[in-house]
A and B are shown apart, each in its own frame.
Chain A
Amino acid sequence: QKEVEQDPGPLSVPEGAIVSLNCTYSNSAFQYFMWYRQYSRKGPELLMYTYSSGNKEDGRFTAQVDKSSKYISLFIRDSQPSDSATYLCASAYMDSNYQLIWGAGTKLIIKP
């Protein structure tokens, strides 16, 4: 079992819809949770990060962490065709070998 699981999709939704992207993780020691966006043929770029449980909002994006169920979510409101990309979740915990554990990424397609 991978430490961070993510449905690869693709997830196809119409423009303007609310998108929900999700990951589950198995290691209860994870404290940091990130969402990266990767456009085709480009490197990933950090969208949002959260520490521990709760919600974090940035414009049209909301990241949510539920540590009790080990569930990570990214919501995109008023989705745009430019949001079409692969979204990767990543988790980490603080120790001397801090490193990100990555999900496989979900391909999102926003149809005009």
Chain B
Amino acid sequence: DSGVTQTPKHLITATGQRVTLRCSPRSGDLSVYWYQQSLDQGLQFLIQYYNGEERAKGNILERFSAQQFPDLHSELNLSSLELGDSALYFCASSEEAGEGTDTQYFGPGTRLTVL
């Protein structure tokens, strides 16, 4: 158990809908990262927050947004969902801002299915 929690575990929704994924980092970790993992794309970095502020941005679509709250939990919002958004969404956390050997600890993931 990495200490990172994600809810819900599974989510089934329809195209055009909006969903929110939630992540609680390990106690004391200041950074939260969001990843998308699909069969044909591997693990894709979406976005990182550090102590409430956006720190790095990867291949995140404009339909997706995230935030990190004062208690350091984070939410990933996915809107106008398309079939191709079906994937595993992972949250990871690390102690600091992510430089050097700052280890990322992954949560169990949320499996999103868009029908």
Contact = CB atoms under 8 A, between A and B. Distances in A.
Interface of A: 32, 41-46, 49, 51, 88, 94, 97-105
Contacts, number: 54
B56 interface: yes
Nearest to B4: A43
B44 to A, nearest CB: 8
B106 A44 contact: yes
On chain B, which size bracket covers the interface? 20 to 34
A105 B40 CA distance: 11
A51 B101 contact: yes
Q: Which of B48, B55, B98, B104 has the most CB of A within 10 A?
A: B104
B56 A45 contact: no
B98 A103 contact: no
